[in-house]
Amino acid sequence: MRMKVDETGITELVGLVDHVTGMNKVAFGFFLEDETDAKKPLLSYPSDDEIETPVREMLAEVNEIESRRLGRPGVPKYWKLLARNRHYFESTWKKHILLLDGKGIDPMGKLAMGLGVSVTNGCRYFICYFSDALRTDGWDDSRILEVLGVVDHYNSFNTLATAMQIESDIRPKH
């Protein structure tokens, strides 16, 4: 990593990759494709009486933040499905807003990373999520294609380096 990002920023970057990868896998597990997909997910959406009061309050916050982020009203299906389990939902949502909305590395960079990770993991639901968030922030197709180009290029270089078992000769600058 040769960017002008400090140790906290690098930890945040790695944390975001860890977080998005986990969410990608669970979106697979839920069979979620995108917000408009009418197919039944793995689990049913909890009814109001199946959601504990603190979670209902947090869902109002999810609605506010995610509606702004994605440029459309409503709680994303992913969070609705998670809401059945209070502790899992709360800890995941807190981590999500900490990593995506906390003061650290460039917020656009975080969304672009989320897109890159989701494309690499082949997760359609979060590809839609992060590209919608970037578009809401004014990104057009040409910028999104640039990110896909980086994903392509680095998946390609990673494959080469792994296939040839090339040892890294670039040392971290610290």
Partner 1 sequence: MSTIRLLRGDEITGPGRELVDRIREREKRLFGKDDLSNIWRAMAHHPEYMRASWERSRAIMQRGKVSPLIKEMVASSVSIVNACHY
- Considering only 6, 8, 14, 43, the residue that binds partner 1 (CB under 8 A) is 14
CB nearer to partner 1: give 43 or 166: 166
Binding of residue 82 to partner 1 (CB under 8 A): no
Hey, CA dihedral for 110, 114, 115, 116, is it positive or negative?
positive
Please count the residues of the chain.
Answer: 174
Hey, CA dihedral for 150, 151, 155, 161, is it positive or negative?
positive
- Considering only 90, 120, 135, 136, the residue that binds partner 1 (CB under 8 A) is 120
Binding of residue 113 to partner 1 (CB under 8 A): yes
Contact 102, 113 (CB under 8 A): no
CB nearer to partner 1: give 83 or 116: 116
Binding of residue 136 to partner 1 (CB under 8 A): no
C-beta atoms surrounding 166 within 10 Å: 10
Q: For 103-142, give one letter per residue: b (16+ CB within 10 A) or e.
A: ebbeeeebbbbbbbbbbbbebbbbbbbbbbbbbeeebeee
Contact 110, 99 (CB under 8 A): yes
Binding of residue 149 to partner 1 (CB under 8 A): yes
* Residue with tokens 């009486």, as numbered in its chain: 49
- Considering only 2, 39, 40, 174, the residue that binds partner 1 (CB under 8 A) is 2
- Considering only 7, 53, 142, 174, the residue that binds partner 1 (CB under 8 A) is 142
Binding of residue 8 to partner 1 (CB under 8 A): no
Binding of residue 141 to partner 1 (CB under 8 A): no
Residues near partner 1, by CB under 8 A: 1-5, 13-14, 16-17, 21, 105-106, 108-110, 112-113, 115-117, 120-121, 142-143, 146-147, 149-155, 157-170
